[in-house]
Structure 1
Amino acid sequence: MPRYFFHIIDGRDMRDEEGTELPDIYVAQSQAIYLTGEVLRDMGARFWDRGRWRLEVENDQAQILFVLHVLAEERSPPHAAF
């Protein structure tokens, strides 16, 4: 079974040195989405301190297969017209 590595890059690299055996890339993509949701939930409001990070998934030959980018932009509310 192929092994996939899920690396989080947000100014500090959190490299997945162990990896996870999964049946195929489609399951790895699903796992990446699930992991992204977990990370965002755990970060909570601290996410706004960075506002950007990415999850890179590579195979056991160190080839990046896909990347999820997460970006938040805080906008000022429009001023009310008086």
Structure 2
Amino acid sequence: MPRYFFDIFSEQATRDEEGEELADRETAREVAIRIAAELLPGHSRQLARTGRVAVTVRDAEGAVVHELECRLTTRSPAASPR
């Protein structure tokens, strides 16, 4: 089975050196989504501060096969016409 690595970009970059053996790229994508969902509640300050939390999936050769990025975009309310 192929090995995939899940790097996390939040308060600091964390490179996955161990990886995980998974059936295929689609399964690696599902794992990345699960990791991001677990990260967000604990990284809300980071998301508010930098506007970004991400999980990058690499294959055994180091090629990025998925990148899941959560961004916070804040918009000011438009001035209401009078």
TM-score normalised to structure 1 length: 0.83
- Identify the range of structure 1 (31-40 vs 45-54) with the bigger mean alpha-carbon deviation: 45-54
1:37/1:54 CA distance change after superposition, 3 Å: same
Work out whether 1:15 is the aligned partner of 2:26.
no
Aligned residues: 82
After TM superposition, where is structure 1 displaced by more than 2 Å over at least 4 residues in a row?
9-12, 76-82
How far residue 9 of structure 1 moved from its aligned partner, in angstroms, is: 2.4
Whichever residue aligns with residue 56 of structure 2, its letter is E
TM-score normalised to structure 2 length: 0.83
How far residue 36 of structure 1 moved from its aligned partner, in angstroms, is: 0.7
Where in structure 2 are the equivalents of 1:1-82 lying within 5 Å? Answer: 1-10=1-10, 12-79=12-79
Whichever residue aligns with residue 47 of structure 1, its letter is L
- Say if 2:10 and 2:43, in contact at 8 Å, map to a contact too: no
Whole-Å separation in 1 of the counterparts to 2:38 and 2:7: 14
How far residue 31 of structure 1 moved from its aligned partner, in angstroms, is: 0.5
Whole-Å separation in 2 of the counterparts to 1:65 and 1:59: 7
How far residue 70 of structure 1 moved from its aligned partner, in angstroms, is: 1.6
Query: 5+ residue gaps in structure 2?
Result: none
Sequence identity, in percent?
Answer: 33
Query: 5+ residue gaps in structure 1?
Result: none
